[in-house]
Structure formats: structure tokens, C-alpha cells
Amino acid sequence: MSSLQRRFVGDLKRCDLLAQKLKFIEEQILADSIPIPRLNEFVPAPRPSEMNTLETEIEEIEEQLLENNKNMKNLMNNYAQLNECMQCINKVQQLLTDGQRQQARQSLLGMENPTSGIGAIRRKLTNVMIGRKDSIIPDRMSSIFSGENFVAGIVERCHSTALERLLWRTCGLNVFVRTVTIDFSEDPLLNDITPKDVFMVFFSGAVLGLRVRKICKCYQAKIYDYKDPANNRVLHVTSLFGRVAEIKSIIEETRKYRNTLLRAAAFKAHEWDIKLQKMTAIFMVMNMCNVDITQRYLIAECWIPTADIIRVRKNFDKTGMLAQEKNGYVFLCQIETNKVPPTYFRVNKFTKIFQSIVNSYSIATYREINPAPWTMITFPFLFAVMFGDAGHGLIMFFVALAFILFENKIKIDDEIMGSFYCGRYIILLMGLFSIYTGFIYNDFYSRSMNLFGSSWYNPYKSSLLELTPVDMQFDLILPPQYAYDRDKGPYVFGLDPVWNLAENRLTFTNSMKMKASIVFGIIQMTFGVILSLMNYLFVSVLLVVISFQKKQ
């Protein structure tokens, strides 16, 4: 039977779907900076009848959040559009008040240079037509005076310059374009809005107006109808203010409702998460069981550590008593088999990281010697032999100690920091051994410490040193027969700090660390070979032992 044909596949799919919905709810909670409290008490696994209740609660909250997000999006769009419309009307009125219409009229009639050329002809023609009371002023000119032939709207700031350039290239001097920047920084509801500009295009003629509107639509610009008479404009702005205030109050109420909903969900989110994980684990285990011929019993075959059989029987007896109340039975039968049992290591939060390091190379078979207990000492110690700095070892030690002391309060989601958190105990030992080897090497942040007093002293007289040039003083040596205090003996612990004055100090200390690492490394490898030999002797494979010894 394939994994997709097993009995509880549908229940696992339901759990996965609920986990996705719960993840969406938690994302919404964290997006609003609402903390999710962690439960310290034990949460029992839900019964099958509770799964429907849990599913109903999660789905109801998800539906309410989706509807709330949809309504909030529509409200924010309407609020932004109304504010843009008001900004457009205000900026257009500001441009008209500043005399932009008169400049547009002069530009379109060619009156920038009215004393010669086409400008003089247009000015003269305009004066003649205006002087005759019965004359009919052409639409091209009268529309500019009436203010009907202009388009105002809003375009994204990144398209503003391109729109203006295209209008000039397409329509030439037949259009007059002005743009003004919009500032929404004073409104906290519009902080995330895309920067936009108000544009105003004067033109003459209906055909040219259609062309201008099409060009504006190409840049996704919003064109607003401008009520030119003052009374119409005031009424329109007043109406917009009322609608903006109404939508703003609705947005505030919607946010309050969302906050209340998310805070109520935050108190149950961790409990729901634990229940879903337990339900998923239960269904996964039940899905691995076989079903008997009568389709009434589940049969599970598993390996149990011998030391845990009594504890497992007690739990089964307790579960069996509960099952009998609902006409159910639980049996535990021990089966004799010739199969090799799987490897099982008892680990805790301290030994887990060391066992993981050993398992990354190879996993011991059943009843073989596990090298993890020795790795707990050799791995951090060999690191310290190569590292050997007491100052940096203190930093590692205290950082790991902080992770250990606050391990129940720290919640790390970052993958890199999570690696440091999981290896907090091994970092603690690495720092502790680095402090020890750092004192042996007398290395504290790459400097020596004179804690017990050096056995060496300066044999040269001060008068001789004063006569010796400074650059030659570094070439002076310390003869042991004159500079070493034999009565005091060698330095009490570690390397004598006098080596800090030697020219070959770095070469000497690096060579010492390297040779010490090689010596301890060979000892460790030899010990590993002995453990492997003992494992091969345990299974009594003489031929394999001979081959193994030849390889080593």
C-alpha cells in the first residue's frame, strides 16, 4: 500500500491545511506588532472530536481576517483617491491664482515675443477681434480665456518628467504644462503611498484635448474634472472633506476591530500550534500502522529500549483503561526476532550537539562503542590547543553562558544565530579550554601577562643602553648566564612573559601551538583506531580486522 492510500492521509491533509491557516493568522498578528504569549503549562493532545472545534475556530478567524484585509484595502484606496482629488483641486487653484492661465494664454498665442513675427500677427488679430463687439472669437482663443481647455490630474512622480517631455514632443507649442509635487507626509495613513505629482496641461482645440488625454492615460495618470466656477469648486471640496472624514472614521473602527480580533487570537495561537503539532504527530504514527483483516485494529511494530519497557507497559495499561470505557483495547506483545536492532543513543541538551557531530561522520551500529563521550572533551580541547587565547576564550565563555542561563527565554528565528544557540554547550567548553591553554601560552588578546614575575631580568647597565642607538638596542640578547635568575626558577605557570620582547616571538608561539596540536591530534587518532579495533573485535570479524589494520 502506497503512502497516499493509507487510512489517515485525509486527516494529515486537514492538519496541514490548518497549519497553513494558523501560520497566516500568526503572520497577521506579528505584522501588527502584537506579542504571542508562550504557554509554560502542559497542553494535552486533542481528541478526535476536538479537531472539528479547532478547525472551526481557526477558519472563522481566517475568514474574518481575509474580509477585514479586503475591506481595509478598499477603504485605503478610496481614502487615497479622495485625498489625491483634494490635493489636485488645491494645487490647480494655486496654479491658477499664480497666473498660470495667463502665461498659458500668452504661450499658446505666441505672445512671448509680441513685437515681431507670428507673435505680432497673433496679437494684432486678437486685438482686432476683441475690439469688435460683434466679432466671433475663434474657439482656439476663447477657450483659453474661459479656462475650459485644460486637463488636470495626478501622475506618479517617476513618470512626471517623461509625461511632460512626451507632451512637448507630440504637441509642440500647442500645449502648456505645469507640475507640482504632492506632500502626504502630514497624514500617517498615507505614509506608504507612492510619491505623485499634480500636472496641469493647457491646450487649444478639442482634437488636441483628446490627444492629451490619451497620452496621460498611457502613463496611468488620473484625470480629475475641475469645477472652474468658485461656488462649484467650494461645494465639491466641502463634499470631499466630508467623505474623507467619514472614511477615516470607518478606517479607525476597522483597525480597532482588527486589533481586538488579533489580540484574542494571539492568546490561543501557541496553544493551537501545540495541538496541531501533536495531532499531526499522532496521525503520522497511526498512518504507519497496519490494519488487521477486520479493519478494526491498528497493528504497530516498533523497537523499544529494554530499560523503557516497564514504563511503556504502565502507560499502555493506563491508556487501555481509558480505551475500555469506549469499547477499545490496547495490547503490548513482545516479539522475538533475529533482526539487528537500530541504534539508539540517550542524549540530553548537553550531549545532543556532540552526538550530532559524531553522527555527521558515521553512526555506530547496535552495541558498538559510541565515541561521543570522548568527543565531549577532545573536540573543544583540540580547538583550544590550536586557538590558545585566554582573552577571546573569555568572550566565547560568557556568550555561551548567557545562552545557557537564558535558554528558556530566548527565541531565535535566524538560522545563523540558531546554530550558535544549538551549540551553546560546545562553545562554552571551547571557551573554557581556550582560557586554560591561553594561560599556558601566556596569550591574552595576543599579549603576554606578567602575573607571577619573570625569571629573566635586564643585565645591561643604563649607561651602556644610553650610549647604544635605539635601533641597535633591539639586537641585544639576554645571555642565560647573566640574565636568568636560577634561584627563582622557571615561570610558575605557562610561558615566561619575557618572550613578548623577542623578535621571533610570533614564530616561536605559532610553532609551539602547531606542534602541540600535532601531538594531541596523533594521540586522538590513535585512540580512535583503538576504539574501531574494539568494535571489529566485538563482532568477531578477523578478516576485517586484518584489512582494517593494513589500511590504518
Predicted pLDDT at 160: 87
What is the 3-state secondary structure of 421-453? HHCHHHHHHHHHHHHHHHHHHCCECCECCCCCC
Length of the chain: 552
Per-residue confidence in pLDDT tens, the chain, 552 aa:
565 567 788 889 999 999 999 999 999 999 999 999 988 888 888 887 888 999 999 999 999 999 999 999 999 888 888 888 888 888 887 777 766 656 666 665 554 444 444 444 444 433 433 333 333 333 443 344 344 578 888 888 888 889 888 888 888 777 888 888 887 776 777 777 788 888 888 887 788 888 888 899 888 888 887 655 555 667 777 788 888 889 889 999 999 999 999 999 999 999 999 999 999 999 998 888 888 877 778 888 889 998 888 888 888 787 766 665 566 677 788 888 888 899 899 999 999 999 999 999 888 888 889 999 999 999 999 999 988 899 999 999 999 999 999 888 877 777 788 888 889 999 999 999 999 999 999 888 888 888 888 887 766 666 665 666 656 555 566 767 667 777 777 888 888 888 877 778 888 888 888 999 999 999 999 999 898 888 888 776 555 555 555 555
CA dihedral 524, 530, 533, 535 (to 10 degrees): -80
Q: What is the crossing angle of helices 390-405 and 424-441, to 10°?
A: 160
Q: Are 423 and 353 in contact (CB under 8 A)?
A: yes
List pLDDT tens digits, range 325-369: 566 677 788 888 888 899 899 999 999 999 999 999 888 888 889
Task: State if pTM tops 0.75.
Answer: no
What integer pLDDT is reported at residue 474 of this predicted model? 55
CB 83 within 8 A of CB 244: yes
- Which strand ranges, in their side-by-side order, compose the sheet holding 150-156? 175-181, 196-203, 150-156, 222-224
Question: Do residues 13 and 7 lie in contact, with contact meaning Cβ atoms separated by under 8 Å?
Answer: no
Pairing of strands 196-203, 150-156: antiparallel
pLDDT of residue 111: 42
Alpha-carbon separation of residue 486 from 271, 301, 477 (angstroms): 72, 75, 18
Let me know: does 370 contact 501? Beta carbons within 8 Å: no
Host H or E run for residue 508: helix 505-538
The end-to-end CA distance of the chain, in Å, is: 46
Helix (H) / strand (E) element for 312: namely helix 309-324
Position 267: which residue type? Answer: F
How large is the greatest C-alpha to C-alpha distance in the chain, in angstroms? 130
User: What is the per-residue pLDDT for 146?
Assistant: 41
Reading the block at residue 412, the C-alpha cell is 531565535
Tens of pLDDT, residues 258-275: 999 999 999 999 999 999
DSSP 343: P
136 burial level (CB within 10 Å; 0-12, 13-18, 19+): exposed
The pLDDT tens digits for 395-442 are 999 999 999 998 888 777 777 888 888 899 999 999 999 999 999 998
Q: How far apart are CA 412 and CA 422, in angstroms?
A: 10
Whole-angstrom distance, CA of residue 200 vs CA of residue 89: 11
Q: What is the pLDDT of residue 498?
A: 82
**Nearby residues of 97 by Cβ (< 8 Å), 6 or more positions away:** none
Q: CB-based burial of residue 434 (10 Å sphere; 0-12 exposed, 13-18 middle, 19+ buried)?
A: buried
Taking alpha carbons only, the member of 109, 150, 100 closest to residue 129 is 109
